[in-house]
Structure formats: C-alpha cells, structure tokens
C-alpha cells in the first residue's frame, strides 16, 4: 500500500513534473523561436537600414558615372549649344532689324478720316444772326484740328504752335516732324496754274529717272520691271534698302541704293515685291503720308 502510494506519489510527482515541464518546454520553445527571430531580425533590420544607404550609394555611383560621362560630353555639347544659340540670336537680330522701321521714334496713331467740324455759317443771337467771314470759319476749322487728335493735320498744327525751339512732335506714323518744313507748308501760296503744271512735269521726269536707276540696282541683271516708275513694289524697294542700311524711308535716294549694292546685300528677283498684301499696303500708305515734312 505504502509502496503503491509511494509509487503513486512518485508517479503523480513524475506526472506533475511532466505536466509542469510541458509549459516550460513550450515557453522555452517559444523563447527559442523568439530569440531566433530576434537573431534574424537584426539582419533584416540591418538589411532594411543599410539597404537604402547602399542603394543610395549604388545610385550615386551610377549617377556619378553618368555625370562623368555627361561631363566628358559637355564641352562638345556646350560648343554645339553655343553655336546654335549664336545662330538663333543672329537670325533674331536680323529679323528684328527687318521688322524695325528706321527713324520711327514716336507712337503710331490712327487717323480718323471722318473727323470734320460742324461749322455754322451764321453767328449771333436769334433774330440778329450775321454771316461769318471766310477768315472766321477758317479759324474755327484750325481750332477743331488742334482739339481733335484723329484729324490728319493735328500733329502739324501742334508742331507749328510749339515753334522752332519746341519739343519734338511726331506724325501719325511715328516720325519726327521738321518745324521749318511745316512752317513753309502753313504759308499760303498763290495759285499759279502754269507754274504748277511745270512743277509737276519736272517732278514726273525726275521720278521716272530715279525709279529706273533704283530698279537696275535693286534687281538681278535683266530682271527689273519694265515700267519701274509705275511698279506697285517701287516703294517697297526703298523700304528694303531703308531697313538694310538703317536709314529712314523718307530719306532714301538713288545714292543709298548704290551704297546698298556695294555692301553686297542680296538682290531681288523678277516679280518680287509686286503683289504686297493689304496689310503691307496700309503700312506703306502710313510711311508715305506726310513724308516730305519729316526731319
């Protein structure tokens, strides 16, 4: 009995030990796995922590390598870019010079051809009105011109009123007016039919001779228009020479065409400048309007 009890105790003890040892073994197993995981985690953590740096280093090496190759190629590329930039700047400056109109320093203003005064023929209170004199009506007209900027003669009167020592006055095309020429234009001139006819004949003959000379110089040999004086592009020839030489359009003469030829500018071919656009026609009309009164 005792032995059995002892044995049972022993058995119970052993079983209790086994029972108690079972959780311990599980704990130890779990602890072992945990330690194993902890032992492995630093490696993974190290990989995670070190990985980006190493990747950065590798990327840096690649970038540095590419940069080195780029640096090696950069001198040639820089030279190529400089050449392209220089070419673009030259073309842009040439285009800008062509677009710019030499001598134009003032703003371009629109002309209102419909601007006309409403001058009454009579003056005075109702029932006592009298007819205005020609001088009075003319003075009213002049005052209207001074007060209306859109009138075609507005700038001329402004220039004349300033006097010879006044500030610069620019016409509607943006060119400075010459006071002395304007003052001569303002002077009344007696009508003389024979003198006017003779003057027109001389002007036509001079224009014909100059137009033929300009055409022979401006065009390639044998390609100038036959009727140079009546050519639609005649004024545009002057415009081209004006821009190439940076001389105002209204100052261009045959001598400037000769200078233009000596400088080796490219000559025009047959038919060029003969069919200007509507916009070009308007621009040319603005250049021509009042050109004889400019500085």
Q: 58-92: per-residue pLDDT in tens?
A: 444 344 444 444 444 454 555 565 555 554 444 44
pLDDT tens digits along 216-230: 999 999 999 988 888
Say how far apart CA 41 and CA 149 lie, in whole Å: 89
- The count of other CB atoms within 10 Å of the CB of residue 173 is 25
Mean pLDDT (whole number) for 30-39: 46
- pTM here is 0.61
* pLDDT of amino acid 20: 41
Per-domain residue ranges for the chain?
101-188, 192-295
Alpha helix ranges (H) inside 130-192:
134-147, 154-162, 179-186
Determine which of 17-26, 124-133, 162-171 has the lowest per-residue pLDDT on average.
17-26
pLDDT of residue 232: 82
Instruction: Please work out, in degrees rounded to the nearest 5, the angle formed at the alpha carbon of residue 144 by the alpha carbons of 138 and 149.
Output: 140
Split at pLDDT 50, 70, 90, the class of 194 is: confident
Across the range 155-184, mean pLDDT stands at 96
Q: Are 241 and 261 in contact (CB under 8 A)?
A: no
Tell me: pLDDT of 148 over 50: yes
Tell me what the mean pLDDT of segment 88-105 comes to: 60
49 or 135, which is more confident? Answer: 135
Half-sphere exposure of 134 (CA within 13 A, CB side): 0
pLDDT at residue 98 greater than cutoff 90 = no
**Would you say residue 14 has pLDDT above 60?**
no
Share of the chain above pLDDT 90, in %: 49
- For residue 30, pLDDT over 60 is answered with no
Distant-in-sequence, close-in-space partners of 189: CB < 8 Å, separation ≥ 6: none
Residue 215 has a CB neighbour count (10 Å cut-off) of 22
**Of 99 and 66, which is predicted with more confidence?**
99
pLDDT score at 196: 87
pLDDT higher than threshold 60 for residue 179: yes
- What mean pLDDT is reported for the chain? 76
Percent of the chain with pLDDT over 70: 66
């Amino acid at each position: 009995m005792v032995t059995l009890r002892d044995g049972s105790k022993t058995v119970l003890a052993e079983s209790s030990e086994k029972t108690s040892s079972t959780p311990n073994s599980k704990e130890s197993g779990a602890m072992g796995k945990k330690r194993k995981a902890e032992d492995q985690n630093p490696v993974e953590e190290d990989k995670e922590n070190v990985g980006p740096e190493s990747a950065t280093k590798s990327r840096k090496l690649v970038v540095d390598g590419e940069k080195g190759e780029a640096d090696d190629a950069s001198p040639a590329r820089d030279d190529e870019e400089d050449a392209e930039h220089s070419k673009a700047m030259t073309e842009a400056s040439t285009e800008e010079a062509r677009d710019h109109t030499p001598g134009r320093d003032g703003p371009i203003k629109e002309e209102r051809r419909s601007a006309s005064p409403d001058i009454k023929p009579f003056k005075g209170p109702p029932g006592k009105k009298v007819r205005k004199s020609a001088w009075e009506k003319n003075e009213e007209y002049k005052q209207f011109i001074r007060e209306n900027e859109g009138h075609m003669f507005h700038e001329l009167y402004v220039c004349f009123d300033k006097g010879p020592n006044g500030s610069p006055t620019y016409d509607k095309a943006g060119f400075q007016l010459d006071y002395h020429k304007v003052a001569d234009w303002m002077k009344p001139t007696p009508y003389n039919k024979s003198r006017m006819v003779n003057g027109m004949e001389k002007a036509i003959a001079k224009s014909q001779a100059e137009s033929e000379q300009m055409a022979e110089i401006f065009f390639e040999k044998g390609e100038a228009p036959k009727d140079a004086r009546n050519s639609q592009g005649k004024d545009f020839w002057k415009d081209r020479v004006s821009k190439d030489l940076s001389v105002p359009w209204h100052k261009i003469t045959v001598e400037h065409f000769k200078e233009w030829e000596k400088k080796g500018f490219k000559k025009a071919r047959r038919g060029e400048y003969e069919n200007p656009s509507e916009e070009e026609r308007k621009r040319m009309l603005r250049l021509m309007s009042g050109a004889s009164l400019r500085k």
